[in-house]
């Protein structure tokens, strides 16, 4: 199954049952985020999210780069009013946030600026060994604008985030792993396979449970423990077939071991 997005922007395929692979495909521009690419990516994410046969999404880049961030040709002439009117960073954040299914960023190469922020918007980051992460915006008179300041700080702490953002300091894949930002670091040849192994945990049988858990985790930074959002999802899960089947299977297996 493929999306209708132009092939020079986003490629879409199903490398395994229940998995949608999205590939940023502007290798000649280091997969820089042009506005057409962002629109195509958001459309592909929306389509995958609405497809009942898809249970997880893998996002990667074509060529040596994962994503070099915003296409500077698009933003060079923007003033404040033009930047606000473009809405593309706002739409990008909202588009990722609307996806209830797990998104795995398969970072095949350098993730710069907005490319790093896209990885941070994902639910898991699996990185190839040569990849690195950097937010260079302060070097060109900007700051991260797609949630990078908040997400990176939440992930690695204030002082490491200061180094990454104020100093535009590069973070290697191994450093990102040590900071718990990256779930796994692998040989480039094994990147897709490792992501597919992770994606195999998400199936039709646990679709609702995974969606509930992801929603609760994503709201954790915004809500206190007494807010009730997690508790409401917890109670809702009791009404699903997944809960009944999961508990019954567990108790049956335990009785067999007894």
Give the 3-state secondary structure of 104-164: EEEECCCEECHHHHHHHHCCEEEEECCCEEECCHHHHCCCCCCCHHHHHHHHHCHHHHHHH
CB 117 within 8 A of CB 148: yes
In a domain? residue 37:
yes
pLDDT at 99: 96
Only one residue has tokens 């290798």, namely 27
Q: Is 106 helix (H, G, I), strand (E, B) or coil?
A: strand
pLDDT at 226: 61
Residues 230 and 214 in one domain: no
pLDDT at 103: 98
Residues 44 and 145 in one domain: yes
Q: What is the mean pLDDT of residues 26-44?
A: 92
CB atoms within 10 A of CB 251: 10
Residues 138 and 111 in one domain: yes
Q: What is the mean pLDDT of residues 6-28?
A: 81
Four-point Cα dihedral 65, 68, 73, 78, nearest 10: 160
CB 231 within 8 A of CB 207: no
**Confidence tier at 227 by pLDDT (50, 70, 90):** low
In a domain? residue 188:
yes
Q: Is 247 helix (H, G, I), strand (E, B) or coil?
A: helix
Residues 170 and 252 in one domain: no
Q: Helices (H) and strands (E) in the chain — how many of each?
A: 12, 9
Average pLDDT of the chain, as a whole number = 88
Give Cα separations from 32 to 114, 137, 156, 185, 243 (angstroms). 9, 14, 25, 23, 43
Q: Active site includes 197?
A: no
In a domain? residue 109:
yes
CA distance linking residue 144 with residue 44, whole number of Å: 24
**Among 44-48, 90-94, 198-202, 203-207, which stretch is predicted with the lowest mean pLDDT?**
90-94
CA distance linking residue 56 with residue 217, whole number of Å: 16
**Confidence tier at 225 by pLDDT (50, 70, 90):** low
Q: Identify any residues that bridge with 11 across adjacent strands, giving them in sequence order.
A: 23
- Quote the percentage of the chain above a pLDDT of 90: 60
User: Which residue among the candidates 95, 113, 117, 175 is catalytic per the annotation?
Assistant: 117
- State yes or no: pLDDT of 16 exceeds 80: yes
Write out the two tokens for 184.
């796994």
Q: Active site includes 70?
A: yes
Those residues whose C-beta lies under 8 Å from the C-beta of residue 194, and which sit 6 or more positions away, are 126, 184, 186
What is the domain count for the chain? 2
**Confidence tier at 8 by pLDDT (50, 70, 90):** low
In a domain? residue 241:
yes
Residues 137 and 231 in one domain: no
CB 169 within 8 A of CB 147: no
- pTM here? 0.87
Residues 249 and 168 in one domain: no
**Confidence tier at 51 by pLDDT (50, 70, 90):** very high
Per-residue pLDDT tens for 171-182?
Answer: 999 999 999 999
- State yes or no: pLDDT of 163 exceeds 80: yes
CA distance linking residue 129 with residue 109, whole number of Å: 8
In a domain? residue 2:
no
In a domain? residue 204:
yes
User: Which residue among the candidates 32, 48, 70, 161 is catalytic per the annotation?
Assistant: 70
User: Which residue among the candidates 109, 113, 114, 115 is catalytic per the annotation?
Assistant: 114
Residues 96 and 204 in one domain: yes
Residues 152 and 31 in one domain: yes
In a domain? residue 145:
yes
In a domain? residue 3:
no
- Domain range for residue 242? 226-257
Residues 204 and 126 in one domain: yes
Q: Is 157 helix (H, G, I), strand (E, B) or coil?
A: coil
Per-residue pLDDT tens for 98-140?
Answer: 999 999 999 999 999 999 999 999 999 999 999 999 999 988 8
User: Which residue among the candidates 137, 148, 161, 199 is catalytic per the annotation?
Assistant: 137
CB 179 within 8 A of CB 158: no
pLDDT at 244: 81
The CATH number linked to 177 is 3.90.226.10
Running DSSP on this structure, what letter comes out for residue 221? T
CA distance linking residue 152 with residue 162, whole number of Å: 10
**Confidence tier at 3 by pLDDT (50, 70, 90):** very low
Write out the two tokens for 74.
């698009």
Between 8 and 42, the higher pLDDT residue: 42
Give Cα separations from 164 to 70, 81, 109, 141, 245 (angstroms). 17, 28, 18, 15, 45
């Amino acid at each position: 199954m493929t999306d209708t997005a132009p092939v020079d922007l986003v490629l879409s395929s199903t490398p395994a049952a229940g998995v949608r692979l999205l590939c940023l495909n502007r290798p000649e521009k280091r997969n820089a985020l042009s506005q057409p690419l962002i629109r195509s990516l958001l459309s592909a994410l929306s389509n995958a999210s609405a497809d009942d046969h898809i249970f997880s999404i893998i996002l990667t880049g074509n060529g040596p780069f994962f994503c070099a961030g915003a296409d500077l040709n698009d933003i060079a002439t923007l003033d404040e009013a033009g930047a606000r009117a473009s809405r593309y960073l706002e739409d990008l954040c909202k588009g990722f946030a609307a996806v209830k299914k797990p998104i795995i960023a398969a970072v095949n190469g350098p993730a710069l600026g907005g490319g790093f922020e896209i990885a941070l918007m994902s639910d898991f980051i699996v990185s190839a060994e040569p990849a690195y992460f950097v937010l260079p915006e302060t070097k060109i008179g900007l700051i991260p604008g797609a949630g990078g300041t908040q997400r990176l700080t939440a992930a690695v702490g204030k002082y490491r985030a200061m180094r990454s953002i104020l100093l535009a300091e590069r973070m290697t894949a191994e450093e990102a792993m040590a900071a718990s930002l990256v779930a796994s670091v692998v040989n480039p040849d094994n990147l897709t396979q490792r992501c597919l192994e992770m994606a195999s945990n998400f199936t039709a049988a646990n679709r609702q449970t995974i969606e509930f858990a992801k929603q609760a985790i994503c709201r954790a930074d915004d809500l206190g423990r007494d807010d009730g959002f997690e508790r409401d999802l917890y109670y809702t899960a009791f009404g699903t077939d997944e809960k009944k089947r999961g508990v019954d299977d567990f108790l049956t297996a335990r009785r067999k071991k007894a």
